[in-house]
Structure 1
Amino acid sequence: MTSTTPAGQDPLRSLLRSSHHLPADRLGTVVSRHATLLGARAAVVYLADYEQSSLVPVPGEDVPPRTPLTVDGSVGGLAFRRVEVTRSPGHDAAVRLWVPLLDGAERVGVLELLFDAEPLAEQDDERRAFAALVAELCVTRSAYSDVFARLRRTRPMSLAAEIQWDLVPPLTFGTERVVISAALEPSYGIGGDTFDYAVNGPVADLMVLDAMGHGLPAALLATVAVGAYRSARRHERSLPATSEAMNTAIAGQFPGSQFATALLTRLDLLSGRLSWVNAGHGAPLVVRDGVLLPAHPCRPALPLGLQQGPAHECEVQLRPGDRVLLHTDGITEARSPAGEFFGEERLADFVVRAETAGDPPPETLRRLMRSVMDHQAGRLQDDATIVLVEWRTGHEDQLTL
């Protein structure tokens, strides 16, 4: 116990008071010191790297030395994958508690708490609340510091990828009505693929986009497209009008027949009505009761930047529990060394099997991206982006996030 964390203080209030002027490079130290108020000997914050393949420790004074953990081969990784508190034995009869760091439904990392004896189970809620505040501090400090961005990368990142990671919203979002989760690869070299979403009251707007080309030129085109999309969305325009605004922006800024394909969707969270505009892109895939539904006969428009008239709007009625997949061609057209496509059926089957296994949506997509990479023998041939949307009635168990 240090002088900055006197006995008898409430851990949450104490950490919150200390956080008001807390710089990012002091977070590991302050969290470890305040964890003593939970009865822990020490604590270590781990953040997920950009590929979500490893958990990187945040160093600091009074923080025990640690090395990175693998998400797929460690107890801390198990807590991250399952989004649940996990126990493991430590040295000298000590006990380690691994608590997921969640910003809403977004998995930030895990918190390792080290105890001299078995901690009381009835205090798990307090420890989860403490971890939630730690996750919030990690996210807010990332907005004005490079400390965590540097820590989370395991190799150099391309300029195009820097732009794209700053452009996309959180990979996971969830409410009682909808769960949205996304993944994109290659994490350190993504170029023209991107996604965006916003949930405003009873409406969820979502988009996936594949900009022509590779590297920085594709990233710049995607940036303009996303800016036009957000502007139209915030002006509450219809999907065809939003497509028109994006088309105008791209055509005006990128002459010479440059374009982007995109899928713009809108989900009524109360009724389950899904509408979309297909701008030269793949159609949304709907998985219902473990079966991929037949493709909807929707007339696609030309890609953005090449359209000459209004886009056609399509719609379908979802049922509670339906999962909708929005993806770029880097997923389904991924080729094995023998030339076999990954394909829509394999994609849907993977999602169904993951759901049967109890994997939450973000873990489903994390594992899906590993499967797509394995299908190509580790050599990604094109950017790959996917968004999974699950419509709910509001009565489901929120622990499945």
Structure 2
Amino acid sequence: MTVGGYNGGSSDRSESFGEMLLGDLLDHAPQLPPDRVGPALADAVARVGGRGVRILLQDYGQRNLLPLAGDGLEVGEPQPIDGSAAGQCFLTSLPVEVPLADGVRVHVPMLDGGDQAGVLAITLDAVDDDIRRILRRLAALAADTMRAKNGCTDLFFRTRRGERMSVAAEIQWSLLPPLAMTMPRVAIAGVLEPAYDVAGDSFDYALNGDILHLAMIDAMGHGLDAATMATVAIGAYRHARRASIELCEIYHFMDRAIAEQFAPDHFVTAQMLRLDTGTGRLQWVNAGHPAPMLIRDHRVIHRLHSPTTLPVGFGGDQPQVSHVVLEPGDRILCFTDGLVEEHKIGHQEFGEDQLINWVHRLDRADRSVRAVARDLSHTLGRARGGATTDDATLVLVEWSGQN
């Protein structure tokens, strides 16, 4: 059989065939319109005998994988992240193969620079290591191409939007870095709730050389006012961080930006951290924000309490920089007060003790920070009775200590 101009025998699955297949897609990628990325991937997969091609992207609520539409792509129903083969692939970043009567359904993670854009699902008559290698590389190339074109299209955003989104949430999502990043020494994952109506909560991070920079903020109020303050706060943080100034100066820069743009009673609580991924030394400044939790061997061993200064915008004193040296495998959980201060009707607030109890149940060995952060956020939402009168955001960081 001849496929795409190549002999259909075993040589079709050789390294040289794979290189030609990838090269053809790579050569055309810069000129591909965004809506042709999916079809181009489907065409490439068809050349190795694949059929029933689906590209599944995570929705903003991190509950379902939603199908991207396009020529040559199967649409079908969304796939729940919990309890589906596609969801297992997404959460583990590992291929999942399901035997079928007429072949094998293969799910391949679409990895993108340490994050994961989604899942490529296809059906093949049979699978071998050559096919697995080609599919892994095709999925990664497609993910990179989608990421590169995401800034000039609404296609991928619309696909990921599982329900109506408020204007404030639209602003917040435009601010965010990727929800997850996994690198050899450090991994990070964040979740924002309510995903489609978040307003004042946000976070930002950057890995510059050996240093991971992270900030979590909570702007007072709700709606557009809170989203606008969060935009200014994150913009000021990024500007100061990129100027390579110290944590104390970053606080003062953010403080001035909020004070100059908003009324005197407006403020933003903030936590700014800096982790040396080579040594495990963690530094942080707290501006009226809940203290992070240090998780070791899958248990919260203590809160990272530190002297706090006033929230951003109130002109606080020079903040004190605190520090601790992490051990390999340690995780840091940062969160906003909405995660623990929510009340069920007629009940006490959710509280930090319940948060710690759920961390102990969910943070188990061999589970990635992305899976734990997602499960923790959704489980806490259910435990709070689904109440979301305030934003509830968390970020989980793991230092592996590996070189």
User: TM-score normalised to the size of structure 2?
Assistant: 0.92
In the TM superposition, 1:113-262 aligns within 5 A as 113-115=122-124, 117-262=125-270
> Against the structure 1 CA distance between its residues 77 and 338, is the aligned structure 2 distance closer, same or farther, given a 3 Å change threshold?
farther
Determine the C-alpha separation between the residues in 1 that align with 2:189 and 2:174: 17
In the TM superposition, 1:385-396 aligns within 5 A as 385-394=393-402
Count residues with an aligned counterpart.
392
> Against the structure 1 CA distance between its residues 62 and 182, is the aligned structure 2 distance closer, same or farther, given a 3 Å change threshold?
same
> Against the structure 1 CA distance between its residues 199 and 160, is the aligned structure 2 distance closer, same or farther, given a 3 Å change threshold?
same
Quote the residue 1:317 is aligned against. 325
> Against the structure 1 CA distance between its residues 297 and 59, is the aligned structure 2 distance closer, same or farther, given a 3 Å change threshold?
closer
Quote the residue 2:56 is aligned against. 46
Determine the C-alpha separation between the residues in 2 that align with 1:73 and 1:292: 28
Determine the C-alpha separation between the residues in 2 that align with 1:157 and 1:62: 29
User: What's the offset of the Cα at 1:357?
Assistant: 5.0
Determine the C-alpha separation between the residues in 2 that align with 1:363 and 1:256: 40
SS in 2 for 1:165: helix
Asked whether the equivalents of residues 337 and 377 of structure 1 are also in contact (C-alpha less than 8 Å), the reply is no
Determine the C-alpha separation between the residues in 1 that align with 2:153 and 2:60: 17
Determine the C-alpha separation between the residues in 2 that align with 1:59 and 1:268: 42
SS in 2 for 1:283: coil
User: What's the offset of the Cα at 1:177?
Assistant: 1.5
Is residue 2:362 matched to residue 1:359?
no
The code of the aligned residue for 2:257 comes to A
Is residue 2:98 matched to residue 1:108?
no
Quick one: which of 15, 19, 22 aligns to 2:32?
Answer: 22
Determine the C-alpha separation between the residues in 2 that align with 1:69 and 1:293: 37
User: What's the offset of the Cα at 1:322?
Assistant: 0.8
Could you list the runs of 5+ residues in structure 1 that have no partner in the other structure?
A: 396-401
Determine the C-alpha separation between the residues in 2 that align with 1:335 and 1:120: 53
The percentage of counterpart residues that share the same residue type is 39
User: What's the offset of the Cα at 1:95?
Assistant: 1.7
Quote the residue 1:270 is aligned against. 278
User: What's the offset of the Cα at 1:175?
Assistant: 1.7
> Against the structure 1 CA distance between its residues 299 and 98, is the aligned structure 2 distance closer, same or farther, given a 3 Å change threshold?
same
User: What's the offset of the Cα at 1:352?
Assistant: 4.1
Quote the residue 2:66 is aligned against. 56
SS in 1 for 2:121: strand
Quote the residue 2:388 is aligned against. 380
Determine the C-alpha separation between the residues in 2 that align with 1:11 and 1:354: 42
User: What's the offset of the Cα at 1:81?
Assistant: 2.0
Map Cα deviations across residues 143-201 of structure 1 (whole Å, 9 max, x no partner). Answer: 11001111111211111111111101111112222111111111111100000111111
Map Cα deviations across residues 105-156 of structure 1 (whole Å, 9 max, x no partner). Answer: 32221101111x2211453232211111111122122111001111111211
Determine the C-alpha separation between the residues in 2 that align with 1:297 and 1:72: 35
Determine the C-alpha separation between the residues in 2 that align with 1:156 and 1:324: 32
Asked whether the equivalents of residues 381 and 387 of structure 2 are also in contact (C-alpha less than 8 Å), the reply is yes
> Against the structure 1 CA distance between its residues 40 and 129, is the aligned structure 2 distance closer, same or farther, given a 3 Å change threshold?
same
Determine the C-alpha separation between the residues in 1 that align with 2:365 and 2:348: 26
Map Cα deviations across residues 364-383 of structure 1 (whole Å, 9 max, x no partner). Answer: 11111111210122221210
The code of the aligned residue for 1:47 comes to L
Asked whether the equivalents of residues 2 and 33 of structure 1 are also in contact (C-alpha less than 8 Å), the reply is no
The code of the aligned residue for 2:187 comes to V
Determine the C-alpha separation between the residues in 2 that align with 1:337 and 1:130: 50
The code of the aligned residue for 1:72 comes to D
> Against the structure 1 CA distance between its residues 308 and 301, is the aligned structure 2 distance closer, same or farther, given a 3 Å change threshold?
closer
Quick one: which of 95, 102, 111 aligns to 2:104?
Answer: 95
Determine the C-alpha separation between the residues in 2 that align with 1:388 and 1:249: 27
SS in 2 for 1:66: coil
RMSD: 2.0
> Against the structure 1 CA distance between its residues 146 and 160, is the aligned structure 2 distance closer, same or farther, given a 3 Å change threshold?
same
User: TM-score normalised to the size of structure 1?
Assistant: 0.92
User: What's the offset of the Cα at 1:310?
Assistant: 1.2
> Against the structure 1 CA distance between its residues 308 and 377, is the aligned structure 2 distance closer, same or farther, given a 3 Å change threshold?
closer
SS in 2 for 1:369: helix
Asked whether the equivalents of residues 12 and 130 of structure 1 are also in contact (C-alpha less than 8 Å), the reply is yes
Asked whether the equivalents of residues 292 and 332 of structure 2 are also in contact (C-alpha less than 8 Å), the reply is yes
Quote the residue 1:80 is aligned against. 90
The code of the aligned residue for 1:327 comes to F
SS in 1 for 2:302: coil
The code of the aligned residue for 2:208 comes to N
Quote the residue 1:399 is aligned against. none
Determine the C-alpha separation between the residues in 2 that align with 1:78 and 1:245: 43
Quick one: which of 46, 70, 73 aligns to 1:36?
Answer: 46
User: What's the offset of the Cα at 1:296?
Assistant: 4.1
User: What's the offset of the Cα at 1:42?
Assistant: 4.4
Asked whether the equivalents of residues 38 and 127 of structure 1 are also in contact (C-alpha less than 8 Å), the reply is no
Quote the residue 1:334 is aligned against. 342
Determine the C-alpha separation between the residues in 2 that align with 1:125 and 1:335: 50
SS in 1 for 2:306: coil
Map Cα deviations across residues 2-23 of structure 1 (whole Å, 9 max, x no partner). Answer: 99x4435532112212322111
Asked whether the equivalents of residues 209 and 263 of structure 1 are also in contact (C-alpha less than 8 Å), the reply is yes
